[in-house]
C-alpha cells in the first residue's frame, strides 16, 4: 500500500455508509451529499495506473487500479450515488441509504479492481448491499422477492468463484484483463458476469426484485449491478461474438415483456434488460467504436433510467399506486414529474438532443461500419421498440391517457431537485456530448449530429409512435402479469419439491411398515431361540457336543484335502 494521499473512492462511500446511521437531521443530509463529492474528488486525483497493490497467497492483488474505462464507470456510479442520495433524503427507512451507499461503494470497488480476486470480493458485497436495499422496503412481497434475488446472485457468485478459481489453478494471472472463451473456467466467469447483467435464462430476477424496493430503493438498484456487469464484460470479454446474440435477445425480450406489463416499475425494469442488451451487443461487436458506444450508453443509461424511476417513484410516493390500469391523467397535478419523466422517456428512446442519441447511435453505427446487416437491422428494430415501451407507453399510461381522477401534487423538494439535476444531465449530454466522448476508453472519431443520423432516427421513432397510437387498442392495460422464467423457481420447483416430498413421505411410511414387520419377525425368532428350552438356551448333553465337534473336524479334514 503506497501513495500517501490516494484513497479508494469506493471505500469512502462504504465507510460513509457505516457512519450514516449515527447521523441525524441536517448533518445526515449534508453527509449524504458530501461523501459522493469527496469520492468524486479523490477519483479524479488518482493517476491512471495501479495505485494500491500487495501480495496475498502468492497472487498480485491490485485493490485500486485506474484506467480510462474504470474511471468512466466509477464517475457515473459516484454521480448516481449523489443523485440517488438527494432523491432519497426524505426516505423514512433508516437502513436504505446506508445500504445503497455500501452497494454503490462496492460497485465502484469492482470498477477500480485490478485483479479478479478483488472483483469477486466487491461483487459479493454488491449482492449483500442490494439485498439490504430491497429489504428496506419493509413489505412482505419485498422480503420474498429479496430472497429469490439473493438466491440467484449467490448462484452467480458461486459460478464466478468457480471460474476464477479454475483460472488461477490453471496457472492464470490474477490480473483482470481480456479473456478468451477458450476454457471452462473462462466460460464460468463469463456466465457469472452475464447473470448479473440480466442475461437469459435467469433474467427474470431483475423485473421480479427491483420493483419491490421502496420508491427510492429502485432508483439505486437500477444503476449498479447490471452496469457493473457491463463494465466487467467490457474489460474481460470485448469482441466475444456470442454476446451480440445474447444482447439482441435481451433487447427484444425486454421490449416484448414491457409491452405486456401493467406495473409501471416492472415496465422500467424490463427496459433495463432491454438497454443492457444494447450494451452487451456492442461489447460483442467489439470494435473500438462499438466498445466506446457500449461504455457511453451505460453512462447515459444510468442517468435517464434513474430519472425514469425517480418519476415513477414520485408517482408511487404520492399515490401508492404503480399499475398503469390505475393511473393516468397525472399531468394535471404533477407537471414537473411529467416533464422530467418525459425527458427521461425521450432520452431512453435516443431522441436527438438527448443523451441516449449520442451514445446508442455509436453502437448501431459500429454494426453498420462493420457491414453486419442482420445485427444492424435488429438493433434498429429494437431502437424503435424502446420508443414503444419506454418512450411512449410509460409516460402515456402514467401521465396522460384517460383521466384516473387522481390529483396528487409534485413530490417534496429533495426529490424534485434530484429529478431536475438528472433531466438537465440527459439534455446536456445530448446537446454537448464532447465531455462524455473525451472520457471514453478509446479516441472518438464519431459525429453524432449529422443531418443523415438525425433525420433517419427521427423518422424511425416518429413512425414507431404512429404504429403505437394506431394499435393502442391492442395495448390497453389489463390487471395481469406475464409469466417469466421466475415461474420455474416460484411455481414449478416448489411444486416438484412438494410432490417429491409427498412421495418420500409415502415411501417412508412403507419402509417403516416393512421395517416394523421385519423387526417383529426377528424379535420373534430371537425370543423363540432364547426362550426356556429354546434352541439357543437349552442345555446340551456332553455326548451330543462331542459328536458335533467330531463332525465339524471331519468336515474340515474333507475340505482340506478336497481343496
- Which chain residues interact with other proteins by CB under 8 A? 140-141, 144, 252, 255-257, 259-260, 262-263, 323, 331-332, 368-369, 371, 373, 376-377, 380-381, 384-385, 387-388, 400, 403, 405, 407, 450-452, 455-468, 471, 474-475, 478-484, 490-491, 494
Query: Least Å distance between CB 252 and other proteins?
Result: 8
Evaluate whether 101 touches 20 at the Cβ level (below 8 Å): yes
Report the distance separating Cα 280 and Cα 459, nearest Å: 26
Dihedral (Cα; 186, 191, 192, 198), 10-degree rounding: 150
Nearer to other proteins, 162 or 369 (CB): 369
Cell 449530454 locates to 429
392 secondary structure, DSSP code = I
Nearer to other proteins, 183 or 333 (CB): 333
Evaluate whether 118 touches 95 at the Cβ level (below 8 Å): no
Evaluate whether 105 touches 13 at the Cβ level (below 8 Å): yes
Query: Least Å distance between CB 377 and other proteins?
Result: 8
Query: Least Å distance between CB 213 and other proteins?
Result: 15
Q: Which helix (H) or strand (E) holds 66?
A: none
Nearer to other proteins, 173 or 447 (CB): 447
Chain-centre distance for alpha carbon 317: 24
Nearer to other proteins, 181 or 325 (CB): 325
Give residues with Cβ within 8 angstroms of 329, minimum separation 6: 399, 400, 401, 402, 403, 404, 405, 406
CA distances from 377 to 257, 386, 460 (A): 21, 14, 12
User: Within 13 Å of residue 92, how many CA atoms lie on the same side as its CB?
Assistant: 3
Report the distance separating Cα 506 and Cα 504, nearest Å: 5
Chain-centre distance for alpha carbon 559: 75
Nearer to other proteins, 104 or 379 (CB): 379
Query: Least Å distance between CB 373 and other proteins?
Result: 5
Nearer to other proteins, 355 or 464 (CB): 464
Nearer to other proteins, 220 or 387 (CB): 387
Query: Least Å distance between CB 450 and other proteins?
Result: 8
Report the distance separating Cα 281 and Cα 76, nearest Å: 21
Nearer to other proteins, 170 or 494 (CB): 494
Residue 114 has which C-alpha cell?
Answer: 485490478
Query: Least Å distance between CB 487 and other proteins?
Result: 9
Query: Least Å distance between CB 144 and other proteins?
Result: 5
Query: Least Å distance between CB 31 and other proteins?
Result: 36
Amino acid at each position: 500500500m503506497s501513495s500517501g494521499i490516494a484513497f479508494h473512492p469506493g471505500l469512502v462511500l462504504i465507510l460513509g455508509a457505516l457512519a450514516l446511521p449515527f447521523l441525524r437531521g441536517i448533518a445526515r443530509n449534508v453527509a449524504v451529499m458530501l461523501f459522493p463529492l469527496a469520492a468524486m474528488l479523490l477519483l479524479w486525483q488518482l493517476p491512471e495506473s495501479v495505485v494500491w497493490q500487495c501480495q496475498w497467497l502468492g497472487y498480485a492483488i491490485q485493490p485500486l487500479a485506474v484506467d480510462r474505462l474504470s474511471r468512466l464507470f466509477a464517475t457515473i456510479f459516484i454521480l448516481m450515488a449523489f443523485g440517488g442520495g438527494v432523491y432519497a433524503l426524505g426516505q423514512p427507512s433508516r437502513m436504505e441509504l446506508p445500504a445503497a451507499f455500501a452497494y454503490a461503494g462496492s460497485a465502484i470497488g469492482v470498477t477500480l479492481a485490478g485483479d479478479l480476486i478483488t472483483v469477486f470480493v466487491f461483487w459479493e458485497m454488491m449482492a449483500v448491499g442490494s439485498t439490504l436495499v430491497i429489504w428496506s422496503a419493509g413489505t412482505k412481497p419485498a422480503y420474498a422477492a429479496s430472497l429469490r434475488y439473493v438466491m440467484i446472485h449467490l448462484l452467480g457468485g458461486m459460478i464466478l468463484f468457480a471460474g476464477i478459481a479454475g483460472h488461477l489453478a490453471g496457472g492464470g494471472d490474477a490480473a483482470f484483463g481480456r479473456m478468451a472463451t477458450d476454457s471452462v473456467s473462462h466460460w464460468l466467469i463469463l456466465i457469472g458476469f452475464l447473470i448479473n447483467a440480466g442475461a437469459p435464462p435467469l433474467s427474470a430476477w431483475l423485473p421480479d426484485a427491483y420493483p419491490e424496493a421502496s420508491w427510492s430503493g429502485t432508483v439505486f438498484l437500477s444503476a449498479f449491478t447490471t452496469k457493473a456487469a457491463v463494465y466487467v464484460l467490457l474489460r474481460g470479454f470485448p469482441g466475444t461474438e456470442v454476446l451480440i446474440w445474447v444482447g439482441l435477445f435481451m433487447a427484444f425480450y425486454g421490449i416484448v415483456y414491457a409491452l405486456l406489463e401493467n406495473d409501471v416499475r416492472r415496465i422500467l425494469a424490463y427496459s433495463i434488460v432491454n438497454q443492457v442488451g444494447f450494451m452487451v451487443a456492442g461489447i460483442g461487436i467489439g470494435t473500438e467504436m462499438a466498445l466506446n458506444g457500449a461504455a457511453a450508453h451505460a453512462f447515459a443509461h444510468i442517468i435517464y433510467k434513474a430519472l425514469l424511476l425517480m418519476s415513477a417513484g414520485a408517482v408511487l410516493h404520492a399515490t401508492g399506486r404503480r399499475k398503469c390500469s390505475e393511473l393516468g391523467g397525472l399531468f394535471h397535478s404533477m407537471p414537473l414529474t411529467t416533464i422530467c419523466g418525459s425527458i427521461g422517456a425521450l432520452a431512453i428512446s435516443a431522441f436527438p438532443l438527448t443523451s441516449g442519441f449520442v451514445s446508442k447511435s455509436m453502437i448501431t453505427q459500429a454494426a453498420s461500419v462493420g457491414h453486419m446487416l442482420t445485427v444492424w437491422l435488429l438493433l434498429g428494430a429494437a431502437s424503435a421498440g424502446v420508443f414503444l415501451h419506454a418512450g411512449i407507453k410509460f409516460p402515456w399510461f402514467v401521465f396522460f391517457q384517460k383521466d384516473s381522477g387522481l390529483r396528487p401534487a409534485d413530490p417534496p423538494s429533495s426529490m424534485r431537485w434530484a429529478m431536475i439535476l438528472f433531466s438537465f444531465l440527459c439534455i446536456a449530454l445530448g446537446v454537448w456530448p464532447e465531455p462524455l466522448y473525451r472520457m471514453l476508453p478509446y479516441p472518438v472519431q464519431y459525429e453524432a449530429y449529422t443531418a443523415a443520423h438525425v433525420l433517419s432516427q427521427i423518422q424511425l421513432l416518429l413512425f414507431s409512435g404512429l404504429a403505437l397510437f394506431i394499435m393502442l387498442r391492442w395495448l390497453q392495460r389489463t390487471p395481469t402479469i406475464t409469466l417469466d422464467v421466475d415461474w420455474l423457481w416460484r411455481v414449478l420447483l416448489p411444486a416438484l419439491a412438494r410432490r417429491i416430498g409427498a412421495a418420500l413421505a409415502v415411501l417412508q411410511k412403507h419402509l417403516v411398515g416393512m421395517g416394523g414387520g421385519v423387526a417383529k419377525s426377528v424379535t420373534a425368532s430371537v425370543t423363540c431361540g432364547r426362550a426356556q428350552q429354546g434352541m439357543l438356551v437349552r442345555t446340551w448333553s456332553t455326548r451330543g457336543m462331542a459328536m458335533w465337534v467330531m463332525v465339524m473336524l471331519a468336515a474340515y479334514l474333507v475340505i482340506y484335502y478336497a481343496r
